[in-house]
Amino acid sequence: DAKTTQPNSMESNEEEPVHLPCNHSTISGTDYIHWYRQLPSQGPEYVIHGLTSNVNNRMASLAIAEDRKSSTLILHRATLRDAAVYYCILRDLGNYGGSQGNLIFGKGTKLSVKP
């Protein structure tokens, strides 16, 4: 799986939008961009994923650069419950072989939300 680069930490104020960047300059044409987050002392949870077009769901939006070498997870109004470590992960569409769609987690971005 191609590598991703994220800032170690970010801060946000409650009720304000948050833009979490991810660089993936070696992304291949069949790599999907996935985001998971991990709240303190809990297991990770799925946030969103996309391939080329921007994606929206009830949790967040995913903005993907035209060249796909970077993406941004957007939380439209941060709440205290959004404080977590956010992981940007690439998953290969064609990876049905030995790795069976496994997730490879990096260090992620620790998001702090101030009231």
Partner 1 sequence: SQTIHQWPATLVQPVGSPLSLECTVEGTSNPNLYWYRQAAGRGLQLLFYSVGIGQISSEVPQNLSASRPQDRQFILSSKKLLLSDSGFYLCAWARGAGVNNEQFFGPGTRLTVL
Binding site for partner 1 (CB under 8 A): 32, 34, 36, 38, 41-46, 49, 87, 91-93, 95-96, 98, 100-108
In sequence order, what are the residues at sequence separation of 6 or more whose Cβ sits closer than 8 angstroms to the Cβ of residue 92? Answer: 1, 28, 30, 31, 32
Q: Which is nearer to partner 1, 42 or 53 (CB)?
A: 42
Q: Least separation, in Å, of the C-beta of 80 and partner 1? A: 21
Q: Token pair 């419950």 is at which residue?
A: 81
In sequence order, what are the residues at sequence separation of 6 or more whose Cβ sits closer than 8 angstroms to the Cβ of residue 45? Answer: 36, 37, 38, 39
Angle at 113 between CA 62 and CA 3, to 5 degrees: 40
Q: Least separation, in Å, of the C-beta of 36 and partner 1? A: 8
Q: Which is nearer to partner 1, 39 or 65 (CB)?
A: 39
Q: Which is nearer to partner 1, 41 or 115 (CB)?
A: 41
